[in-house]
Structure 1
Amino acid sequence: MTFEPESLGQSRTDLAAELRSEHRRAGITQTRLAQRCNMSQTKISNIEGGKLTPAIVDVELILEALGAESPAATKILALARTANTEWQDLWASRRRGIDKKQDELARLESATAEFRFFLPTMITGLLATPDYVRASLARNPGNMSKTVAKKLERQQVLTDPSKSFTFLLTEQAVRWPLASPITMSMQLDRLVSVSRIPTVRLGVIPLGTVGPVTETPLSVFTIYDRRLVQVETHTGALVLRDHRDVTAYRDDFERYESYALFGDECREQLSDWAAGFRS
């Protein structure tokens, strides 16, 4: 199925309407439907009222309980898939103010306990020095001081004992010369320091340790618990909430993790790369 970006995250109302229509066709009460699906009547009501975006597995259970047949079931499942996918447009974010995106990320981070970051292109803001953050924002128009400040403020979450972080960085991400050699060497020293924070597990994947072509990393992504994945592109980000998408990205993360250096091996490699920038 092909997604149109403008439709992503906007199909909950259409999905609710189609489910209500199929429910009327089946001719059973909402209470009876809830019993068949092993859900609460309130949950069914919220789904059919468009107040709750159901997981695809919930929609599958409802369709099975209603005895829905193709092509109606196919159409409804397609709507469910779209409703569980959100497109965050880069230009829309710029119009609202990039600092507002930092507020959204901070709220998401406060509600998440387990983080997995896969970083094949550059170093994420949670790990960045102030100079690296400023260099990463150089393409953006206007005064970025507020955004820089909020990015750095978000780093406090790394020391929250109720949370755990795993960062995987490729050699490409770590050594890409985004800033001056001295800034890059200081940034790599910062990674060494962060790797010692008890809540953080930081790994690097040197060139030469990558797997076969079938496991080539394609994009930056972050996994928040088992709830959602954010996949970054050049012009925005996809937010995926379908449990099958989340599971697929968790599986990918575990494969990439198997190639990474952690602990003292990681810190030794980072120190060697930092020395290369200093020389």
Structure 2
Amino acid sequence: MALDPQELGQSNSDLAAILQELRKRAGLSGVQLARRVNISQSKISKIETGKVTPSLVDVELILRALGTPPDLMAHVTALARIANTEWQDARALRRKGLDKKQVELATLEQNSTEFRYFLPTMITGLLATPDYIRASLAPFPGDHSKAIAKKLERQAVLYDSTKRFSFILTEQACLWPLLPGQAMAMQLDRLISVSRLPNVRLGVIPMAGHMPWAPLNVFTIYNASLATVEVSTGALIFRDPRDIEEYLSEFRTFEGYSLWHDAARRKLSEWADRHRAIPRDL
């Protein structure tokens, strides 16, 4: 199903109104519907008032309990999928200030304990050196000093032993020359250092051998309950369990292609040496 960014974030109230209307048409009270679908009456009430966004599974249970016709069921299910997806426009974020996005990410990291990052194109801010962060923001106009400071502050979360991190980086992400050779080598040295933290798993995927699966996007999974997918013009945020399971499955696939532990560190060291071999004036 195609998702129109203009609809994202606007559909929850529509979904709530439709579900409430369908329940009333079926002649059921909120208590009666709650019993049929084994969902608490308070949750039914919050769904119908738009205070809680129901998952696709919840919506399907409710629609079946109400005897909804197939064509209407398809329409409402599509609306539920949109309601479970949020679009964050990159240009709007830049206008608001990139440091505001860093505060939002820090809050998400504070409230999560398990993180999975798939990085096919660039190195994420949690792993980046100050030079790399500065270079990644350079194409965008404005003063980025606050955003850079916030990105560096966020890196402290890596040293929280109550949290677990898994990073997968492709060879392209590690070799893309965002910085001059020596600075890129220092960036890869940092990856090696971070990979030794007891709560961090860092894998790399060399561009060799047969890999019958091609990555499309950068994505991050938080606690197996929220996934963010980055594209050039913004980010999609998925909360529905089925969408998240798709990204978990994709992450597990790439885990199988990755080098880990000492093998990953040897490959990173090899790539760092390749950067160091680049003449300084290039």
1:46-61 correspondence to structure 2 within 5 Å: 46-61=46-61
Partner amino acid for 2:220? T
Q: Secondary structure at the match of 2:172?
A: helix
Stretch deviating more after TM superposition (69-78 or 83-92): 69-78
Structure 2 partner of 1:206 = 206
Could you say what secondary structure the match of 1:7 adopts?
coil
Q: Which amino acid aligns with 1:162?
A: T
CA distance in 2, matches of 1:118, 1:229: 11
Give the CA deviation at 1:211. 1.0
Which consecutive residues of structure 1, in runs of 5 or more, have no partner in the other structure? none
Amino acid at match of 1:264: D
Q: Which secondary structure does the structure 1 equivalent of 2:230 belong to? A: strand
Which residue identity does 1:184 align to in structure 2?
Answer: M
Instruction: Letter of the 2:143 partner, please give it.
Output: N
Which residue is 1:237 aligned to?
235
Q: Hey, what's the Cα distance between the residues in 1 that align with 2:30 and 2:123?
A: 50
TM-score normalised to the size of structure 2?
0.97
Indicate yes or no: 2:218 matched with 1:220.
yes
1:22 equivalenced with 2:17 (yes/no): no
Secondary structure at the aligned position of 2:138 is classed as coil
1:249 pairs, out of 232, 239, 247, with 247
The aligned runs of 1:1-279 (5 Å cut-off) are 1-212=1-212, 215-279=213-277
Letter in 1 for 2:194: V
Q: Residues of 2 paired with 1:69 and 1:110: CA distance?
A: 43
Task: Give the length in aligned residue pairs.
Answer: 277
Q: Deviations over 1:37-86 (max 9, x none)?
A: 11111000000011110111000111111111132211111110000011
Distance in 2 (CA, whole Å) between partners of 1:21 and 1:164 is 44
Quick one: distance in 2 between partners of 1:23 and 1:197? 53
TM-aligned CA deviation for residue 140 of structure 1: 1.1
State the Cα deviation string for residues 92-127 of structure 1 (Å, max 9, x = none): 101110110001111111111111000000100000
Matched-pair contact (CA < 8 Å) for 1:209–1:259: no
CA displacement 1:125-151 (0-9 Å, x = unmatched) = 000000010011111111111100000
Give me the identity figure in percent. Answer: 58
Distance 2:170 2:9 in 1: 31
The 1:241–1:176 alpha-carbon spacing in structure 2 relative to 1, beyond 3 Å, is same
Residue type at the aligned position of 1:266: A
The aligned counterpart of 2:280 is: none
CA RMSD between the two structures = 0.8
- Give the whole-Å Cα distance in 1 for the aligned partners of 2:180 and 2:10: 43
Q: How far apart in 2 are the matches of 1:202 and 1:210?
A: 21
Question: C-alpha distance in 1, partners of 2:81/2:210?
Answer: 32
2-structure distance, mates of 1:171, 1:2? 31
**Structure-1 separation of matches of 2:69 and 2:158:** 49
CA contact (8 A) 1:205 1:261 kept: yes
Give structure 1 regions of 4+ aligned residues with deviation exceeding 2 angstroms. Answer: none
Q: Measure the CA separation in 2 of the matches of 1:103 and 1:37.
A: 38
Gaps of 5+ in 2: 278-282
Distance in 2 (alpha carbons) for counterparts of 1:52 and 1:191:
40
Q: What is the CA–CA distance in structure 1 between the aligned matches of 2:95 and 2:75, rounded to whole Å?
A: 34
For residue 74 of structure 1, give the secondary structure of its aligned residue in structure 2: helix
Q: Is the 8 A contact 1:220 1:231 kept in 2?
A: yes
Does the Cα contact within 8 Å between 1:210 and 1:259 map onto a contact in 2?
no
1:174-225 superposed Cα distances (whole Å, 9 cap, x missing partner)? 010001111101000000000001110000000114511xx10011000111
Distance 2:110 2:150 in 1: 14
* Separation in structure 2 between the aligned mates of residue 144 and residue 2 of structure 1, nearest angstrom: 34
- SS of the equivalent of 1:5 reads coil
